[in-house]
Structure formats: C-alpha cells, structure tokens
Amino acid sequence: MLDLTTQIGTLTLKNPIMPASGTFSEDLAQVFDLDILGAHVTKTITREKRSGNPTPRVCEVRGSMLNSIGIPSKGLDAFKTNVIPFYKNYDAPLIVSISAGSADEFASLCEDISVPGVAAIEVNISCPNIEEDGKAFAMRPSTTEAVMRKLRNATDLPLWAKLTPNTGETTEVAKAAEEAGADALVVSNTLLAMAIDINTKRPKLGNLMGGLSGPAFKPIALRMAYQCAKSVEIPVIGCGGISTIEDVIEYLIAGASAVQVGTATFINPPIMVKMVEGLESYLQSQGLHSVKQLIGSVVDQEASDGLVFMEAAP
C-alpha cells in the first residue's frame, strides 16, 4: 500500500500536492473533485475590500508569465460568510492566505480569521504587488521576525510563512521566520520582473512590474526551497514553476515536504489530479512505499556542508 501522506507540523496531508494561493478558487470544483488535493489554499485576503491593480494584470513571457493582479479582496466578512462554508464540504484542510499593510493589521486579521473551518494560515509576507513602497516583510530577516512574532501571538493555528525570492538573504529570512514561530515555510512567492512592448514602448503590465511565475522560475524557487530545507527544522513547502510530476518529485527530493502548484493550473486545469496519479506511479516504479522516503533524499553528500549559499559579504 502506497503512503502518499505528508506531515506539515501538526497537520497530516493525504498527499503533498496542493494549489498555490491566487491560482485556485471554488471555481475549480467544476473541473475536478477538490478532495483529491492534499490541502486547499485560498487567494490572499485582506480585511478590507480591495479592487486590485489596473489591467493588464497578466502578460506572458517566453514559456512563463508575469502578473500584477494586486490582491483584489472582497474583505474578511464576505470571506467568512461565503468562502469558508464552501470548503466545509471537503475533507482537505483549508489554508487561508492573508495579507495586510502593517504588522499590527496583519496580526489583527490573523486573529480574526482563526475560526472553525480554517486548518492553517498562510501569511503572505512576500507579495511583490501590495506592500507599501513595494517592500515586503520577507525581504529582510528583521522585518520577517518582527511580523512573524506578532502573527504568532495572534493565533494558535499553524502559521505558514510565504517567503519571497526578492531577497539576498534567503536562509537568514527562513531562520528568522522559524525563530519567530512559523510552523512551515512556503518557498516561494513570485520573482519581481518586467516586460515592455517594443512597439508601444509601454510596460506590458498595468502596474509596470509584476511577479514571474511558471517554468522559467522553477530552478530559482527550487534552489531556495533546497536552501531553506537545509537551514531550518520546520517543513518547507515548495512553490514555483511546478508544471509536471517530475517537477513535484524534484522539489520533494530537494527537501520540500509538500508542493504548491500554481500557474500550471491555468494552462492545464486538471494538472494536480494527474500529478497525484503520477506520484503514485513514480513511487511504484522506484520501489518506494512512502512519499516520506523521497523528501530530502537529494544526493548532495559532503558538498552541502561546506557550501556557501551565495551569502552577502560582511
């Protein structure tokens, strides 16, 4: 009997495949049975209603895409009334992604969303499209630790910190989040990027810049997931450019305990179902009986011990 379960802190997921925030909604229930997934992760909500960024909000680049959606949100009350009850129809745990403009607002939202039906809170401390002045908490260890401490004090639910690739201090930020009480790290959000139309000379996104996601981003996020898994004790959830079952397996081998699939669902909406099936086939073909045997099985030997992971000069 194959064991696809994985452990994210106190939560046991029936398989390691879940959607990435912002690329999933109740609408996907029209495509497949959402209980096939290991967990459900909502689009980031804010306390207030927000309309999001100007259009165009998405553009494609070779083999990938940029987005500057900007976290449109119907607000906390609408979310509690309409969205949480919908997911009570499913066994898969509901992970609610939240964001706010300041650490105190973040903590107060975190407290107010800690309600029955919510299994864990993913704290989006890294959206490149929302924080004032374009700064995200997760770009520095100090701001990460400060906001995570407030969030930790605001809830007893598991806290997943979603990190950003827009930092030169990946492992320091990861350790700061762990130190401040995060139960897991989601690695990572999108990479700040840009595209310009050469005919009109206008940026292709209404917000000028936006986050790169899709296959082109995968090696970067995979590297970060590997670095984080090496530097912290809490589980790492890999996220970035996962489009095939081979990508899922690669992240698990790198040390991720689970993965989030995002942009690939836009191209191929039932892809996560195929990934769950593909994971079973892979384990069978390798003579493995459990996903846990795969997690962190990267053969890096001594190299990893002495490796300097692109640390900043003092």
Partner 1 sequence: MSNIALDTKPDFELAKPIHEVECTIISNEPVNGEYRLLVLNAPSKILDCEPGQFFHLLCPVSDTLQPYLRRPMSIYGYYPDKGELHFLYKVTGEGTSAIATLKAGDNFNVLGPLGRGFDILPNWQNLLLVARGVGLATLAPLALEARRLNRKLTAICSARSDQFLLSLDYFRELGATVIPLTDEAGTSSVENMHSIIEGLIADEGIDAMYTCGSNRILKLLQTVGKEHNIPGQIALEQQMACGIGMCQCCVRAFNRNGAIVNERVCREGPVFDLQEAIGC
Say if CB 217 and CB 190 are below 8 A apart. Answer: yes
Task: Classify residue 87 by burial, with Cβ atoms within 10 Å: 0-12, 13-18, 19+.
Answer: buried
Contact between 195 and partner 1 by CB under 8 A: the answer reads no
Among 2, 36, 61, 194, binds partner 1 (CB under 8 A): 61
Measured from the CB atom, the residue of 150 and 204 that comes closer to partner 1 is: 204
Piece of 63-71, 158-166, 173-181, 304-312 that binds partner 1 (CB under 8 A)? 63-71
Contact between 65 and partner 1 by CB under 8 A: the answer reads yes
Distance of closest approach, residue 192 Cβ to partner 1, in angstroms: 18
> Residues 269 to 298: which contact partner 1 by CB under 8 A?
269-270
**Binding-site string for partner 1 from residue 83 to residue 122, where x marks contact by CB under 8 A and - marks none:** --xx-xx---------------------------------
Distance of closest approach, residue 227 Cβ to partner 1, in angstroms: 28
Measured from the CB atom, the residue of 186 and 225 that comes closer to partner 1 is: 186
Among 41, 69, 249, 283, binds partner 1 (CB under 8 A): 69
Secondary structure E strands in the chain: 6-8, 11-13, 17-19, 40-41, 58-61, 64-67, 94-98, 120-124, 159-162, 184-187, 191-194, 209-213, 236-239, 258-261
Among 58, 76, 146, 195, binds partner 1 (CB under 8 A): 58
Tally of CB atoms within 10 A around 144: 30
Q: Any residues with CB less than 8 A from the CB of 193 and at least 6 apart, and which? A: 61, 66, 209, 210, 211, 212
Contact between 55 and partner 1 by CB under 8 A: the answer reads yes
In the set 59, 110, 127, 228, the catalytic residue is 127
* Annotated binding-site residue? 68: yes
Task: Classify residue 233 by burial, with Cβ atoms within 10 Å: 0-12, 13-18, 19+.
Answer: exposed
Buried b (16+ CB within 10 A) or exposed e, 250-285: bbbbbbbbbbbbbbbbeeeeebbbebbebbeebbee
Among 12, 82, 142, 304, binds partner 1 (CB under 8 A): 82
Say if CB 240 and CB 217 are below 8 A apart. Answer: yes
User: How many chain residues bind partner 1 (CB under 8 A)?
Assistant: 38
120-124/94-98 β-pairing: parallel
Measured from the CB atom, the residue of 31 and 310 that comes closer to partner 1 is: 31
Measured from the CB atom, the residue of 227 and 265 that comes closer to partner 1 is: 265
CA 53-54-58 angle, to 5 degrees, is 80
What number of H helices and E strands is found in the chain?
Answer: 10, 14
- 239 noted as active-site residue: no
Which are the catalytic amino acids?
127
Annotated binding site for substrate: 43, 67-71, 124, 189-190
Contacts to partner 1 by CB under 8 A: 22-31, 43, 51-52, 55-58, 60-65, 67, 69, 72, 82, 85-86, 88-89, 214, 265-270
Known binding-site residue numbers: 21, 43-44, 67-71, 124, 162, 189-190, 214, 240-241, 262-263
